[in-house]
Amino acid sequence: MSIQWFPGHMAKARRQVTEKLKLVDVVFELLDARLPISSRNPMMGEIVSQKPRVILLTKCDLADPKANKMWVEYFREQGVGVLEVDAKTGKGVNLIQSVTDKLLQPLFETRQRKGILTRRVRAMVLGIPNVGKSSLINRLAKRAATVTGDRPGVTKAQQWIKIGQNLELLDTPGILWPKFEDHGVGLRLALSGAIKEEILPIEEVAVHGISYLKERYATDLMTRYKLQDSALEQESYELLQEIGKKRGCIQRGGIVNTEKAAEIFLNDLQGGMIGRISFEYPGDEFFIEEQDVQR
Ligand code: GDP
């Protein structure tokens, strides 16, 4: 279920995240590899503030490998730790510890100067709904025994999952809202499955998706639906009708049920059946440079 975010929800979410942040040394910021900008909470920088962050690009198995590589470079250039992960197969998950260790060198040095020798660090997972927080935590929990919290003064007992020699992860993630202000962002979130159709009309989402694929993934689109080259000349809505026809979404009187066609198309898209598709690339037009991760 997608969550409708209202100012009250946002304030509460922010409060809960702020509380959790007090318990950790580092944040694993989950962004959907297919749309790392739109799947990022607009206030992430402000909320997380000075805490070191490792960006985990989730669902990398669904995203275009070419775009994944570009995003990793993009974030690396900004000086943050970054990794592609796939919670389904576990790809990248075993590297989390070493990337975190590297990022936290300055913390270890400060500790050492103060005579604190422990290299133990605590982390939390943070991200918008559906980005893959629970899947990642479950995968990590499977590999390790859960350890119980031992910090006095914590009202609710916190469970920690030991994921490496010195790394412990809070077993409940921090949830932040996606940003809805921008229509394009909303459409991309809907295309990825992060927000459900109750928010945006499903046919509009599908038509937007078809237009995008025509531009960037035409071959994948044509192959999946066995379309002729000439189909690309058609309006995206007509293509949706064509897809509907091919998939038997015909109502009485021969009219194509475009709502059903949109459902089929989005299911295919979100399930990776059309191909490995990314909805955002560094340098895309929508891209706002000020959305610097360090902010
Ligand atoms: P949360 O709301 O952030 O906790 O997200 P979930 O962990 O519940 O994941 C949302 C959906 O994405 C679920 O259907 C997961 O099976 C799926 N999912 C999560 N991680 C991955 C991944 O790495 N690859 C793929 N293909 N699907 C994933």
What domains are defined for the chain? 7-175 (3.40.50.300), 183-270 (1.10.1580.10)
The DSSP 8-state label assigned to residue 231 in this structure reads G
- Check if 34 has its Cβ closer than 6 Å to any atom of ligand 1: no
pLDDT of residue 27: 96
pLDDT of residue 196: 76
Expressed in angstroms and rounded, the spacing between residue 133 Cα and the centre of ligand 1 is 7
* Nearest atom within ligand 1 for CA of residue 89: 23
pLDDT of residue 2: 55
- Check if 178 has its Cβ closer than 6 Å to any atom of ligand 1: no
Q: What CA–CA distance (Å, rounded) separates 122 from 131?
A: 21
Write the pLDDT tens digit of every residue in 192-242: 999 876 678 999 999 999 999 999 999 999 999 999 989 889 999 999 999
Radius of gyration of the chain (CA): 21
Write the pLDDT tens digit of every residue in 126-135: 999 999 999 9
pLDDT of residue 16: 94
- What interface predicted TM-score (ipTM) does this complex get? 0.99
Q: What CA–CA distance (Å, rounded) separates 294 from 180?
A: 22
- Max CA-CA distance within the chain? 80
Residue-averaged pLDDT of the chain: 89
pLDDT of residue 146: 59
- Check if 38 has its Cβ closer than 6 Å to any atom of ligand 1: no
Is residue 242 within 8 A of residue 225, CB to CB? The reply is yes
Q: What CA–CA distance (Å, rounded) separates 266 from 271?
A: 8
Write the pLDDT tens digit of every residue in 147-163: 655 555 544 567 899 88
| pLDDT reading at 295 higher than 60 | no
| pLDDT reading at 289 higher than 50 | no
Other C-beta atoms lying within 10 Å of the C-beta of residue 23: 15
| pLDDT reading at 291 higher than 60 | no
Other C-beta atoms lying within 10 Å of the C-beta of residue 74: 18
- Check if 129 has its Cβ closer than 6 Å to any atom of ligand 1: yes
- Check if 87 has its Cβ closer than 6 Å to any atom of ligand 1: yes
pLDDT of residue 79: 84
Write the pLDDT tens digit of every residue in 34-92: 999 999 998 888 998 889 999 999 999 999 999 999 999 999 998 889 999 999 899 99
Greater confidence, 155 or 5? 5
